[in-house]
Structure 1
Amino acid sequence: MCRCDEEPVVKVAVDRNRCEGYGFCEERAPEMFRLDEDGELEVLSESAPEDKKDAVRRAVRSCPVAALLLDES
């Protein structure tokens, strides 16, 4: 059943086979992404809060190897 009164949820995941650790996502949405000491990307939260959705979208678009997957359902 559709809960049309709710905002769509923005979920993000990383394709670890594609990620090369450029860090553009971390620059644009540091609350959501972090590179660890080995340069591996950590997704800090799979769902973006309302006030971070635009930053997450910018982060996804900024990835030069398209390693971030966005689901807005």
Structure 2
Amino acid sequence: MPVVFRDKGFRFHFYSNEGEPREPPHIHVLKDGIDAKFWLRPDVVVAYNDGFSAKTLRELTEVIVRRRDEIEQAWHEFFG
């Protein structure tokens, strides 16, 4: 599972097998066994959440918006 970056104890990553056909670019965020998935386009939105608070989801969304280009570049470099 390629890790794109870490921030404040959160791991921002994607899985090496993202479905067949492959899902559009997105990012998973994991901390303390809690996981969420965010779509990147057209807007950053929560695809699913397994326990993060609404406040944490807002903070994570802000991080992803700021670093969306970096995330997409990592996605395209990995998947081609």
Q: TM-score range by the shorter chain?
A: 0.3 to 0.5
TM-score (norm 1): 0.34
TM-score (norm 2): 0.32
Q: Relative to total residues, which structure has the larger helix share, 1 or 2?
A: 2
Higher relative contact order (CA 8 A, sep 6+): 1
